[in-house]
Amino acid sequence: MDIDHDATPPDAENEARRFFLKQSMFIAGLSMAPADLLQAALAPEDGPVGNAAKVKISLTVNGKRRRISIDPRMTLLGLLRENLGLTGTKKGCDFGQCGACTVHVDGRRTLSCLTFAAMQHGSKITTIEGLSSGDNLHPLQEAFIKHDGFQCGYCTPGQVMSGVACIREGCAGSAEEVREYMSGNLCRCGAYPNIVDAILEVKMEGLKV
Amino acid sequence: MKKQLLDNASDTSLDRVDGAVKVTGTATYSAEYLVPGLVHAVLVTSTIAKGSITAIESREAEAVPGVLAVISHLNAITVPGWPERKQPAERVPVGTALRVFYDPLIYFDGQPVAMVVAGTREQAVHAASLVRVTYQQETHQTHFEKNIGKAGVALNVQRSKNSPFQDYQRGEAAKSENTEVRIEAEYTIPTQHHQPLEPHAIIAVWEADDKLTVYDKNQGVKSAQGQLAQAFKLPRENVQVISKYIGGAFGSGIRVWPHTMAAVMAAKQLKRPVKLVLGREQMFTSVGYRPYTVQKINIGATKDGRLIGIVHEGTGQTSMYEEHLERTVLASRTLYACPHVATRYRLLPLDVNTPTWMRGPGDATGMFALESAMDELAFALKMDPLEFRLKNYAESDPERNLPWSAKSLRECYELGAEKFRWNNRMQAPRSVTQNGLLMGYGMASSLYGFHRHPSKVRAVIQADGSVIVQSATMDIGPGTGTAMTRIAAKVLGVNAKKIRFELGHSALPDAPGQNGSATIPSVGSAVHVACEALKTRLVALAREMSERFKSGGQVVVRNGQVYGSVDDKDGVSYADILKYHHLNELEVTEESKSGAERDQYSMYSFGCHFVEVLVSPLTGEVRVTRVVTCADVGAIINYKTARSQSIGGVVGGIGMALMEHSEMDHRFGRYVTTDFAGYHIPVHADIPPIEVYYIDKPDVHVNPIGSKGLGEIAIVGVAAAIANAVFHATGKRVRELPITPDKLV
């Protein structure tokens, strides 16, 4: 995995903790994280937040470095929506089953509802708000409008983030491939054929995504 | 010829006016308003299906740092619009909406029994897990088939002689029994849930003791405003409901549900703005569903394929406290020219939450049965299913004995069949294979009644010639603002980019909620009328400026200017007209509603669907591989968004036919499908290319824009078309949805 040096915490201890956090996620999940880990992260000046103490993390969101104290129970989705006001990332199911909360973490599409914010120390997050800059839309955003790749618009940020990653991953070679690699992003309005058309057009035109 | 018309229409279609905010994530949905001092609520729901609460132990929850309150019937505020609580509590009479935190009685599993409010959602979620509720449990009944003997005529119907749900008969009821060819069959649809991607959410803010603002996911800000005002005994204008962007609803947002009341009550009690977002699992018990329905159809015809009789009986599930009625059996009275028809509709109350309207309510359910039965009868007659339908085409409404306002269903059949290449169909089932898979073709008709409600629209032209059009209508996804902008642009001769359509706020002019495919017919007409009135005012003002504009009917508007005639080269711009008259803006408000035409014509939208499926003979897996859908809804306002709505209906129909099934564990009266892992809806990989065609011929009798509703007919009939295709592929008739592999192997 790429490490963004700008976002690397200043001391080695933090780096070790970050590594451990990632390890523990893969091995046993956060519930198994030992007490000393939480102790290390304790920020007494912030006081208790329920039955848990706050965790200080530093991460980059849409190119902006953020240092923040958070409840360790908070998901990345919660952090984005409730603490950072980035409500473009949508809460759909809380179980990683709908894809509405898709963001890019270090360039990979990630379900933010299944990701603890505390484990994103040092990560580089891109949300729908950071996909394009200024008044210029990303080519896939343009294509979604052109092909009417949405109705209510609620799954749209997740579809767009997933679609961009799908193209970057090289999984948008055909309609069939797009349908397969986009199947983690549900759309209840049923805009699927239009979404596929939008992704294929951007892919086929060879536009930079 | 028709194709050309469509291509022209698509060329001039508007992109969605809210496209940019939706693709950039800047559209604000209900849970996303930034309100200072906001606190978070999480519901605790019942774990029994019937009984009463004996105790709520909340001390541990209350001790969690950050928790502000644990609210239940023990300490909730009194809602002034509700009658006094009885002690001891008695079960409410049928027809009473569930009152949240009102008394200890439990009517269904998943009923809100308490709500934790805390500074953060994490705190509230944790504390909610610590609330202990004990119950006095009673025996519940949730199993439909085991209780079907208790079904009866709804009290509402017994009381109302003119109810459309009364038993109906024309000709001789038993006629279908004695026909030459006859089918008698029972069709079942399970409980299915709307499950919009956005969970229902509300932010409730008491601006003052008697002033309430709610940001709520619903399909009708005006009706929500009225219901909340009534509940809290406030003047209407003291309650404002804002619902500008809605992440899908499909009927789940038509009512003001108990969770909305719970958030409003908590905000009042705590004097803090409260945000409540339902969990996905709560979406199964909080906002209604398409009810479990069993239908019996007895249908007969002469040997040469003339329908003689239809008896259609339907029984739908409802709750113990409310009666939910829908049009399940009604299409059988109307769709075909059939002399002898009887329909009966019954309700079965169970210990469940109340169902509600879900896209194509009743008709999607009923048409599955009717159009499956028609297919079965066509097969028994050895007739092509399309030919059979054409043979029994209703040239006028056989129920009301009135002419149709317009009906191009025949053209739909012909166009759809041509595009689908229906002629290639082999009559015998299980006769075509492709790569080892069984291939089948199926089709079904669609119809949905025309609804138009009184609507008001304000149209304002500003000094720079830009236009604001306002109405308290909604957009749950079809693209209301886009269609309305298109109508306004056409009438006023103004570029769509200079028009802003505002909706989703209860302070705007009266409009119906978004349901029953009524938005374009109702609000679209009002936009037309208001913009016509504004144009008339502008032309009158132009006439005062120059002799050139006094040419009576010759005056035209285009490009934001008034011209003396079609050939006139020099016009005067709207901006200059306002400037000349020293006006900052010019405003009109107009109302539009139905008139006597409702009694002179029978009004429906029509359509049909053609479906190709491939079925694995080994696993029973069904894949829909091709769909052609064709609709006659009068004039198409904006082709691009209309097409998306039709596609969406087909996708919903594929879910209904092949996967959607809310499964209950009747030992507990509890759904076991509580997320998208258990309740399957179509994903990208399930959806083939879908071709959409419209007849696009204005219905001049229904309203000034000649346009009827599209949202419902897009799904009505789709499930039957798929079931018919599965029969054609496999030779097996599945009469119980969804058509899962276990039913085919």
Rounded-to-integer distance, Cα A178 and Cα A163, Å: 8
Mean pLDDT of A112-140: 95
Measure in Å the smallest separation between the Cα of B675 and chain A Cα atoms.
7
Which CATH number does B33-139+197-249+253-286 carry?
3.30.365.10
Q: How confident is the model at residue B547, as a pLDDT?
A: 84
User: The domain A139-204: what is its CATH number?
Assistant: 1.10.150.120
**Interface subset of A 102-141, CB within 8 angstroms of B:** 127-129, 131-132, 137, 141
Given an 8 Å threshold on Cβ–Cβ distance, is A127 in contact with B25? yes
Query: How close is the nearest chain A Cα to the Cα of B719, in Å?
Result: 15
- Which residue matches tokens 């065609």? B693
Shortest Cα–Cα distance, B679 to chain A (Å): 11
Look at residue A28 in the predicted model and tell me its pLDDT.
Answer: 35
The 3-class SS string of chain A reads: CCCCHHHCCCCHHHHHHHHHHHHHHHHCCHHHCCHHHHHHHCCHHHCCCCCCCCEEEEEEECCEEEEEEECCCCEHHHHHHHHCCCCCCCCCCCCCCCCCCEEEECCEEEEHHHCEHHHHCCCEEECHHHCCCCCCCCHHHHHHHHHCCCCCCCCHHHHHHHHHHHHHCCCCCCHHHHHHHCCCCCCCCCCHHHHHHHHHHHHHCCCCC
In degrees, rounded to 5, the angle at the alpha carbon of residue B480 between the alpha carbons of residues B198 and A144 is 65
* Distance from C-alpha of A157 to C-alpha of A159, rounded to nearest angstrom: 5
Residue A6 banded pLDDT, cuts 50, 70, 90 = very low
Q: Which residue has the tokens 């290390």?
A: A40
CB B197 to CB A155 under 8 A? yes
What whole-number percentage of chain B has pLDDT above 90? 94
pLDDT at A49: 55
Residues 6+ apart with CB under 8 A from B346: B151, B152, B153, B154, B313, B314, B315, B316
Which of A47, A154, A184 is closest, CB to CB, to B29?
A: A154
Give the contacts of B129 (CB within 8 A, at least 6 positions apart).
none
Tens digits of residue pLDDT in B682-712: 999 999 999 999 999 999 999 999 999 999 9
pLDDT band of B531, cuts 50, 70, 90: very high
**Single-letter code of the amino acid located at B466:** S
For A194, which of B194, B196, B644 is closest by C-beta distance?
A: B644
Interface with A, mutate which of B22, B43, B280 (most A CBs under 10 A): B22
| Contact map slice: A 71-90 vs B, CB within 8 A | 71, 73-74, 78, 81-82, 85-90
Q: At the fourth CATH level, which superfamily is domain A55-130?
A: Beta-grasp domain (3.10.20.30)
In CATH terms, the fold of domain B453-593 is Aldehyde Oxidoreductase; domain 4 (3.30.365)
Cα torsion A92, A97, A98, A99: sign: positive
pLDDT tens profile B276-310: 999 999 999 999 999 999 999 999 999 999 999 99
Predicted confidence (pLDDT) per residue in B716-737, tens digit: 999 999 999 999 999 999 999 9
Instruction: Write out the catalytic residue numbers of B.
Output: 712
Quick: pLDDT tens for B652-678.
Answer: 999 999 999 999 999 999 999 999 999
Q: Please give the mean pLDDT across all residues of chain A.
A: 82
Residue ranges per structural domain of chain A: 10-42, 55-130, 139-204
CB of A197 within 8 Å of any CB in chain B?
A: no
Using CA atoms of A22, A26, A32, A37 in order, give the dihedral in degrees to the nearest 10: -10
The DSSP H or E segment spanning B368 is helix B363-381
| CATH 3.30.365.10 is right for the domain spanning B141-196+290-401 | yes
Q: Where in chain B is the domain with CATH 3.30.365.10?
A: 1-7+408-449+604-745, 33-139+197-249+253-286, 141-196+290-401, 453-593
pLDDT digits (tens, 9 = 90+) for B370-383: 999 999 999 999 99
State whether A137 and B649 contact (CB < 8 Å). Answer: no
Task: Place B743 in a pLDDT band, splitting at 50, 70 and 90.
Answer: very high
Is A174's Cβ below 8 Å from some Cβ in B?
A: no
Taking CA B615 as the corner, what is the angle to CA B611 and CA B619, rounded to the nearest 5 degrees?
150
Average predicted confidence (pLDDT) for chain B: 96
The domain B1-7+408-449+604-745 is placed in CATH, from the list 3.50.50.60, 3.30.870.10, 3.30.365.10, 3.30.70.100, at 3.30.365.10
Q: How many CA atoms lie within 13 A of B550 on its CB side?
A: 4
Q: Position of tokens 């008697």? A: B210
Percent of chain B whose predicted confidence (pLDDT) is above 70: 98
**Which positions in chain A touch B196 (Cβ < 8 Å)?**
152, 154, 188
Distance (Å) from the alpha carbon of B380 to chain A's nearest alpha carbon: 35
